[in-house]
């Protein structure tokens, strides 16, 4: 059954993008909105997107005209009767979707396939609003729909195999890669994405680090096309909130309970890029964070600081800064910044005691911290802790990110001086508070752990997960390749610690992660 005519209901950013995808693939499209104003706005979106493609030389004017010529814009839903498949991108509310599907069931001939582009609502519930649950499924596109190559094809326990095959073929005809999965909240990509996005929302809200720093650090650590807060602004904070609510309802996992500030931003009407304001403001030519930069990250760096390192081990910090001179503790007297890595909490504390005896007044001391040991736990007995900060090399898939960890005592100038020294050494530093997992381990490792758990649950294959995250979210490699780069054993031990420190059992490693960790690097 080849689909030649498609209907799309709802012409916001996503709906207009889906119209573009279908029309570019040569389908006739019936594009429907509820009133003339929304219809005109949807038409403008499509014309704007195609206009940009013409301006960039990606499309010629004749092709644009042919694409537009294939689209009928109407507020008359009855026109959908001529479509072979109707999909929708109306607001993420079950009452709205079920009412629409009941209506579509009455309008469309019995053979028409009805698809929902829901982000996370139960497709099964939408299907049961019709008299044809065997011809209903999810066809989930990703923002921006014309660009992202993933389409999740979501079948329920009632969907006909022929219908799944027809929609899979349609996705392929549109140049997309379909991943076929069952009906579970968030499907593959959103279920993985939104735990991570919510963790970023909480990190921003609690001032774990500055918003722009969180985004920059994740991009540097993982090679993602955008940081999590920028991505939420792209998706829409209202849509993000809806997805988290649905995920939380289904899983009862605290990690999906929406960050309170996210809810307030939505209440304020700050929905992200589409309203010009979300975690960032978009009215000044560049994206500016709307949240204040935390105090610890506002210091003035001491310029031309001399940096030395005191370490007795195969230090990850020394590996990250190989150009820094290694000295004995007693020879650190002239340095402006002394980095100490004793390899263990006790040894670092001993070296710190020796360095503080000789260090010149005002020298900044940066001590290596692990996920398990808070910086202040290693500074007991030292009178002035204002010039002591932590440094942490996160377990990131890509090297180069270093966390400069501020304690409650750390002077902002000390933090800024170490940040500047790290930048000088060619690293990507991020100033953050001393909290479990700091920034990168806290955001990224649970994300990878969730991917492993999803495979362990039997919901999706490793390939499905990798395809979903690379083609749906633009990741340079899938979560399993990222996990191999981090090392499953290290990821496992950090996640065990995070689960205990945060009292969030869903962070604990799954049995499959235990297995991967036991298997060693060559088997991952
Ligand atoms: N519409 C159409 N085309 C667009 C576009 C848009 N809104 N935005 C960008 N493009 C096109 C550009 O024209 C350009 O095309 P070209 O290569 O043919 O010239 C291409 O995309 C790259 O654009 P830019 O160079 O301007 O920008 P970037 O290279 O920075 O890429 C991005 C922009 C594609 C958005 C990239 O940053 C990205 O992949 N981000 C991640 C997006 C993501 O994760 N999406 C999924 C969100 S989850 C979701 O949607 C599910 C839902 O249920 C919540």
pLDDT tens-digit map of 310-319: 997 788 898 8
* Residues 199 and 145 occupy one common structural domain: no
Q: Is 317 found in the same domain as 273?
A: no
Residue 292: pLDDT band (50, 70, 90) is very high
pLDDT, position 522: 59
Residue 187 domain flag: no
Q: What average pLDDT does this structure show over 397-407?
A: 96
Residues 244, 150 within the same domain = no
Confirm or reject: Cβ of 146 under 6 Å from ligand 1: yes
Domain co-membership, 270 together with 345: no
In a domain, 105, yes or no: yes
In angstroms, what CA-CA distances link 6 with 18, 87, 141, 174?
A: 10, 8, 15, 12
| Residue of 147, 223, 468 to mutate, ligand 1, most atoms within 8 A of C-beta | 147
Q: Quick check: CB of 230 below 6 Å from ligand 1?
A: no
pLDDT in tens, 413-429: 999 999 999 999 999 99
Structure tokens at 462: 């490793």
Q: Which of 240, 263, 292 is the last residue of a domain?
A: 292
Same domain, 349 and 489: no
144: cis peptide before it, omega within 30°? Answer: yes
> How many angstroms is it from 143 CA to the middle of ligand 1?
7
143 is catalytic: no
Q: Is the CB of 118 under 6 A from ligand 1?
A: no
pLDDT 10s digits, 24-47: 999 999 999 999 999 999 999 999
Q: From the candidates 49, 117, 119, 316, give the one annotated as an active-site residue.
A: 119
Do 233 and 137 belong to one domain? no
> Annotated catalytic, 396?
no
* 431: Cβ contacts below 8 Å, ≥ 6 apart: 209, 210, 213, 296, 297, 403, 404, 406, 415, 416, 419
For residue 152, indicate whether it is catalytic.
yes
Residue 17 Cα: closest atom of ligand 1: 1
Tally of domains in the chain: 4
The 10 Å Cβ neighbour count of residue 63 is: 14
Report pLDDT for 149: 98
- CATH number of domain containing 252: 1.10.1040.10
Residues 218 and 92 in one domain: no
Task: Single out the residue in 157, 182, 207 at which a domain terminates.
Answer: 182
Q: Domain residues for 448? A: 440-523
Is the same domain home to 44 and 178? yes
| pLDDT tens digits along 491-510 | 999 999 999 999 999 999 99
Q: Whose CA is nearest to atom 13 of ligand 1?
A: 53
Q: Is 140 a catalytic residue?
A: yes
pLDDT at residue 420, rounded to an integer: 95
Residue nearest to atom 32 of ligand 1 (CA): 225
Backbone angles phi and psi of 289, in degrees to 5: -65, 140
Which of 407, 433, 459 is the endpoint of a domain?
A: 433
For strands 288-289 and 280-281, give the pairing: antiparallel
Q: Is 49 in the pocket of ligand 1 (CB under 6 A)?
A: yes
Q: What is the structure's pLDDT at 523?
A: 54
Span 183-210, average pLDDT: 98
Band (379; pLDDT cuts 50, 70, 90): confident
Residues 327 and 278 in one domain: no
398 and 377 in one domain? yes
Same domain, 354 and 397: yes
Q: Is residue 508 part of a domain?
A: yes
Mean pLDDT of 470-481: 98
**CATH number for 32:** 3.40.50.720
Number of helices (H), then strands (E), belonging to the chain: the values are: 19, 17
């Amino acid at each position: 059954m080849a689909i030649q005519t498609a209907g799309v209901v709802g012409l916001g950013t996503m709906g207009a993008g889906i119209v573009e995808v279908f029309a570019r693939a040569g389908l006739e499209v019936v594009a429907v909105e509820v009133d003339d104003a929304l219809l005109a706005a949807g038409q403008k979106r499509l014309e704007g997107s195609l206009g940009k493609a013409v301006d960039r030389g990606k499309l010629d004017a004749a092709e644009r005209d042919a694409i537009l010529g294939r689209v009928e814009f109407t507020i008359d839903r009855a026109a959908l009767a001529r479509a072979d498949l109707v999909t929708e991108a109306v607001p993420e509310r079950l009452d709205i979707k079920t009412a629409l599907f009941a209506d579509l069931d009455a309008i469309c001939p019995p053979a028409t396939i009805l698809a929902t582009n829901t982000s996370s609502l139960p497709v099964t519930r939408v299907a049961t609003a019709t008299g044809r649950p065997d011809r209903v499924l999810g066809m989930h596109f990703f923002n921006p729909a014309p660009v992202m190559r993933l389409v999740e094809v979501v079948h329920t326990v009632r969907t006909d195999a022929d219908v799944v095959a027809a929609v899979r073929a349609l996705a392929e005809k549109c140049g997309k890669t379909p991943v076929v999965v069952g009906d579970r909240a968030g499907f593959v990509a959103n279920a993985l994405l939104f735990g991570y996005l919510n963790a970023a929302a909480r990190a921003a809200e609690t001032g774990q680090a500055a918003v722009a720093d969180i985004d920059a650090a994740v991009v540097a650590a993982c090679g993602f096309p955008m940081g999590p807060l920028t991505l939420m602004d792209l998706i829409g904070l209202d849509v993000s909130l809806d997805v988290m609510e649905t995920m939380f309802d289904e899983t009862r996992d605290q990690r999906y309970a929406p960050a309170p500030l996210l809810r307030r931003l939505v209440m304020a009407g700050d929905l992200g890029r589409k309203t010009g304001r979300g975690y960032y403001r978009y009215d000044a030519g560049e994206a500016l964070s709307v949240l204040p930069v935390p105090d610890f990250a506002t210091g003035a760096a001491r310029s031309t600081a001399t940096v030395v390192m005191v370490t007795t081990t195969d230090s990850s910090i020394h590996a990250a800064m190989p150009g820094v001179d290694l000295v004995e503790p007693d020879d650190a007297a002239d340095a402006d910044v002394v980095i100490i890595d004793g390899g263990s909490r006790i040894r670092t504390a001993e070296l710190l005691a020796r360095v503080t005896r000789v260090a010149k007044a005002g020298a900044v001391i940066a001590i290596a911290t692990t996920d398990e040991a808070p910086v202040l736990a290693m500074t007991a007995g030292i009178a002035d802790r204002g010039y002591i900060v932590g440094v942490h090399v996160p377990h990131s898939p890509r090297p180069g990110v270093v966390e400069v960890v501020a304690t409650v005592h750390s002077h902002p100038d000390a933090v800024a001086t170490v940040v500047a020294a790290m930048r000088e050494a060619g690293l990507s530093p991020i100033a953050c508070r001393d909290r479990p997992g700091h920034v990168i381990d806290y955001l990224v490792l649970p994300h990878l752990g969730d991917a492993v758990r999803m495979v362990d649950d039997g919901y999706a294959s490793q390939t499905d997960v990798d395809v979903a995250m690379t083609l749906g979210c633009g990741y340079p490699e899938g979560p399993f390749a990222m996990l191999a780069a981090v090392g499953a054993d290290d990821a496992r031990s950090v996640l065990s610690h995070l689960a205990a420190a945060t009292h969030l059992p869903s962070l604990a490693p799954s049995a499959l992660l235990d297995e991967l960790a036991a298997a060693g690097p060559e088997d991952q």
